[in-house]
Amino acid sequence: MRQSKPKDNDIDNEGTPGIYTLSVISDSRNNLDIGNSTTVLVSDQKEKERAKWGSELEFLMSCVAFSVGLGNVWRFPYTAYENGGGAFLIPYIIVLFIIGKPIYYMEMILGQFSSRSCIDIWSISPAFKGIGYGVTMAVFAVVTYYSALMALIVYYMIASFQSVLPWSYCWDDWGDICFNNTLTSNHTNIGNKSSSAELYFRKVVLNETNIDNGLGLPSWKLVLSLLASWAFVYGVISKGVKSTGKFSYFLALFPYIIMICLLIRGVTLNGAINGIIFLFKPTWNKIFDPSVWYAAVTQSFFSLGVCFGAVTMYSSYNNFDHNVSRDCLIVTTMDLCTSLIAGTTIFGILGNLAYEIGTDDISTVVRAGTGLAFISYPEALAKFTAAQQLFSVLFFLMLFVLGIGTTVAFSGVIISIIKDQFPRISQWKISAYFCFIGFLIGIVYCTPGGQYILNLVDYFCGTFILVILASFEVIAISWIYGIDNFIDDVEFMSGTRPSFYWRFCWGILTPISLFVILIYFLCSYAPLTYNNEYYPNSAYAAGWILLIIGASQLPIWIIISILNNKNAPLSVAFIAKNDWGPKDKKRFKKWKDFKESKRIQNNSINERTKFIQFLFGRQ
């Protein structure tokens, strides 16, 4: 008896897994052995089936929950203010249309067409598989500190329930270095004093110390807040897309309810209009500053979440013929509108803060990054004459829900990769192990030196690596796999060919723009600082090591792919593998026939027509 494992679809048996013996009946006239039997292992087909969204709307809501996040609320307003105010909107919108939107749509297409994770999709060009591994490392680093930010949000949300907001007054321990947030007199003579909100954040919440003295011991309150954050994340991802899809409606829509409430409250405050004008008043000479365009690119990356693998992962759970072009338009438009709404809300309330303390210089109440969420905004809340606690709870609840939506997507990227490699392991077990490991690593950010480490990891893993990998991702798809091949795949999947706009962006504008930004980034590199302090050399070395580990995955896997095909021409390492294409076997065969018809059609045309097609694409 001979035992073998068949190819897919050799045996149906109604999808029942097991071992079966097949007897071959024939006679000697046909040169067949009578009575020979073959034992065949039939695998459990259900294990090979990729999970699907419960409805098309679940996918859209999940994308909104992921892309509309903390980057819109506290990163965009300060980035816009720092880079020309209203003038920043011009490069930002241009970057959105030539980089953000094209990459977002490309990643949607790749995930839906192949039904694969951000690593497995690189059977499209095996030499570039390192992009998938590099993105995975970057996402894992980002999700660990993202959860730490949520721990801060939980801390503040709980503190907001106190009868008196704890950051609204000076604590006795702070001595004479503090001025009270609730005072409405002019603060032109505060000297080197700090606001009670800033001291509360630095000394009570973070217990921050210089990193030269080591990280210190973690705050047990922040550790418990971190645990609560991961518990919420686990509750959403424990059952995969089934649970994620159900929670997506709340994660996507609830923040808008709070945001609209805060917007109405913010724009009706005294001095709010001054803050809004301050944000959107254009500084036109900034448009010609390369650093502003670089800021627009990084903001687009963080805001939309491109090149983090999450868009590809979510799209891989779609039905093959789902209209991702429509969803791309909806998500990118909502993302831009949300950033504008958040900026208007935040700076309207900061305008009121400036009005209350009697200053016309709104820049004195604006802080960057986490300072905007945990210092400037709490300062403004402390000035409210009514319902301070209510608006404080609403604000931090909104931030928490936004953070959960993004963290769930980041976590899903890692979990989907593990699940694809080990399909027999239960989803809840993978999710539990991942959340536990994420929690343990996140404790590092709960130490007095945690914000120094967060800033370092964010810069080297969350920005640097992704700009590099994004540049080569577009190159690999558009120039190596080929823009015509990619557009043919889109046509087969959707029934229509992408317009000239998409072809021009994917083939020329997006990759060139990314490389120009990357070159500028490398040429203008300056040592990272935190609170205007330089890091120890050992910290810079650690950051560069993280960067090298992530970015080096690309050349490492190029070499591996070449060595695996050392007896073949070099180009073989870059050519799509035989298994690239739709997962469904019948659809895969139809796609192969479709590609062959396109090849025959292309071979039958003259050179002039080929040149026109190079510019405008095949029809």
Q: From CA 324, how far away is CA 399, in angstroms rounded?
A: 28
Q: Lowest-pLDDT range, 4-8, 104-108, 115-119, 572-576?
A: 4-8
Tell me the per-residue pLDDT of 82-103, one tens digit each, with 9 for 90 and over.
Answer: 888 888 889 999 999 999 999 9
The whole-number pLDDT of residue 26 equals 41
Residue predicted with more confidence, 606 or 437: 437
The whole-number pLDDT of residue 358 equals 78
Q: From CA 384, how far away is CA 325, in angstroms rounded?
A: 44
Cα distances from 370 to residues 28, 76, 201, 531, in angstroms, run 82, 12, 10, 12
Q: Are 65 and 268 contacting, i.e. CB atoms less than 8 angstroms apart?
A: no
Tell me the per-residue pLDDT of 487-507, one tens digit each, with 9 for 90 and over.
Answer: 999 999 999 989 899 999 999
Q: What average pLDDT score do residues 105-119 get?
A: 94
Highest mean pLDDT out of 259-268, 404-413, 516-525 = 404-413
Cα 608 to chain centroid distance, Å, stands at 43
Angle at 584 between CA 582 and CA 587, to 5 degrees: 70
Q: From CA 143, how far away is CA 149, in angstroms rounded?
A: 10
For the chain, what percent of residues have pLDDT higher than 70?
Answer: 88
Q: Which residue has tokens 């004008």?
A: 277
Q: Residue 271: CA atoms inside 13 Å, Cβ hemisphere, count?
A: 19
Beta bridge partners of 38: 2, 22
pLDDT at 571 over 50: yes
Q: From CA 307, how far away is CA 619, in angstroms rounded?
A: 29
Cα 400 to chain centroid distance, Å, stands at 16
Tell me the per-residue pLDDT of 232-256, one tens digit each, with 9 for 90 and over.
Answer: 999 999 988 888 999 999 999 999 9
548, containing H or E segment:
helix 537-551
Q: From CA 239, how far away is CA 432, in angstroms rounded?
A: 11
Q: What average pLDDT score do residues 162-169 get?
A: 89
pLDDT at 69 over 50: yes
The whole-number pLDDT of residue 414 equals 94
Per-chain mean pLDDT for the chain: 84
